[in-house]
Amino acid sequence: MPMYSFANDLYTGKKSYDIVGKRKIWLSIAAVAVIVSVTLLLTVRLNLGIEFTGGSQFTISNTQNTDQQPATDVMSDHGVTDAARVAQVGEHTLRVQTVNNDDFSNTETEEIRTELAKAYDVDPADVTSTYIGPSWGQDILSKALNGFVVFLVLVGVGLSLYFRSWRNAAGAIIALFHDLIVTLGVYCAFGFEVTPSTVIGLLTILGYSLYDTVVVFDKVRENTDELTKQSAYTFAESTNLAVNQTLIRSINTSVTSILPVGSILFIGVLLLGAGTLRDLALVMFIGLILSTISSIFIASPIAVALAERSSAIKEHTAQVLAARDQRPEDEDIDLLSDGVPSHGVIRHPGVRKANSAQPKRKKRSKK
């Protein structure tokens, strides 16, 4: 009941957070995050996996010893200049990768297999080797970038037509770029490995971010449908109401999406050792959190900032503020700048429409 009451108060405007009104704060934080991420991308650079750089890979199966140091020592003895990447894959399997290394000769490959088998006390047949060229990963990256560009174009056109405003499309696309760049910045900061699964995860979270943003913008369109026919609330105030009305839905959707991904990441990877799921779960876990934040604190504020540059919106906002100054203090108002009434009650077309659409409760008969 407390959560239901809280959600109802947000929807009706009885309780409200001034998210859009404080947009300069949120956008400044987002800009700093993007600048830091870009700086990390240019200086620290991404930790690209073997699929993008090329190299040799050895897989040790059926081993009871999962210590990574013996594998590192074996690869060092064979002239691996960069540190070998050793990871546990499953309960009894280790994967050894040498990134940016020339392909070993057949003789040297067999020697490494034998030494790894001896170091981990397994049969040489349990040690397999493969060489991965960089062209495969680069081909995947190239196709992913092409798909991303096409995706952005279609999203921009589609949202502009659906909402009849390019500003909403711009807000959504900028939020997408924020999610993408900051996610890559987190990967740089913590040295997480970027694999083809990471690229797939990035494209997945972009779709999620767009979905959450469209939900908010759809409510904005409903609340501003007859904006210029009244002088009680501005475009920014109406948008802020829409963000508050969809806040609980955004949080609930995010929680139900993050929980299973978090379960895969922390239980499947850390406890069960399912390393193959790590790359996809990690990028989705980070991206889902950022997508939730951007849909609330970035997309709508940017759309409002762009809309307020319009002469029509400027003129309407001035009319609302002038009418508000002339309104008696004891008169009911529609909506204040922070969404919380200082006197009177909130009355908004979007709220009235939504309330009238709710099912009526049957009165219980008294015995």
pLDDT, average across residues 95-122: 83
Instruction: Provide mean pLDDT across the span 239-254.
Output: 87
- CATH number of the domain that 183 lies in? 1.20.1640.10
> How many angstroms separate the CA atoms of 248 and 240, rounded?
14
Average pLDDT over residues 263-275: 68
- Boundary of a domain, candidates 265, 284, 307: 307
Mean pLDDT of 87-115: 80
Cβ neighbours of 309 (radius 10 Å): 9
Q: Identify the DSSP state of 367.
A: -
* One domain for residues 218 and 283: yes
How many domains does the chain divide into? 2
The backbone torsions φ and ψ at residue 151, rounded to the nearest 5 degrees and listed phi first, read -60, -45
Q: Do 282 and 145 share a structural domain?
A: yes
Res. 159: pLDDT tops 60: yes
C-alpha distances in Å from residue 200, one per residue of 204, 239, 284: 6, 33, 9
Place 321 in a pLDDT band, splitting at 50, 70 and 90: confident
- Does 116 lie in the same domain as 6? no
Evaluate whether residue 323 is within a structural domain. no
Statement to judge: residues 166 and 266 lie in one domain: yes
Whether 354 is in a domain gets the answer no
Query: Residue 264 carries which DSSP code?
Result: I
Task: Give me the percent of the chain exceeding a pLDDT of 90.
Answer: 17
Picking from 132, 96, 89, 93, the residue whose alpha carbon sits closest to that of residue 113 is: 96
Q: Is residue 364 part of a domain?
A: no
**41 and 124 assigned to the same domain:** no
Range 123-144 burial, b when 16+ CB lie within 10 A, else e: eeebbebeebebeebeebbeee
Residue 116 resides in a domain: yes
- Where is mean pLDDT largest: 70-79, 114-123, 257-266? 114-123
Q: What is the CATH number of the domain that holds 91?
A: 3.30.70.3400
Residue 342 has what pLDDT?
37
Give dist(CA 146, CA 168) in Å, integer. Answer: 23
Question: Residue 223 domain-assigned?
Answer: yes
Q: Please indicate, yes or no, whether residues 213 and 97 belong to a single structural domain of this protein.
A: no
For residue range 25-65, what is the model confidence (pLDDT) as tens digits?
999 999 999 999 999 999 988 888 887 877 888 999 988 88
Do 34 and 62 belong to one domain? no
Q: What is the mean predicted confidence (pLDDT) over 345-359?
A: 42
DSSP 83: P
Distance CA 173, CA 160 (A): 11
Tens digits of residue pLDDT in 215-246: 888 888 888 888 888 888 888 988 898 899 88
Q: Are residues 168 and 277 in the same domain?
A: yes
DSSP secondary structure code for residue 279 in this structure: H
First to last CA, the chain: 26
pLDDT recorded at residue 299: 92
Cβ pair 56, 129 in contact under 8 A: yes
pLDDT at 268: 66
210 and 144, same structural domain? yes
Q: What average pLDDT is seen over the chain?
A: 80
Quick one: pLDDT at residue 182?
94
**What is the domain range of residue 17?**
2-48+136-307
Whether 312 is covered by a domain: the verdict is no
CB of 12 closer than 8 Å to CB of 346: yes
Residues 200 and 251 in one domain: yes
Q: Evaluate whether 94 touches 71 at the Cβ level (below 8 Å).
A: yes
Asked if pLDDT for residue 177 goes beyond 70, the answer is: yes
Q: Is the pLDDT of residue 249 over 90?
A: no
26 in a structural domain: yes
Q: What is the pTM of this model?
A: 0.78
Q: Strand 94-99 to strand 55-60: parallel, antiparallel, or no bridges (unpaired)?
A: antiparallel
Q: Is residue 86 part of a domain?
A: yes
Residues 141 and 272 in one domain: yes
Tell me which of 256, 284, 307 is where a domain ends. Answer: 307
Do 103 and 28 belong together in one domain? no
User: Is 125 in a helix, a strand, or coil?
Assistant: helix
Which of 106, 132, 158 corresponds to the end of one domain? 132
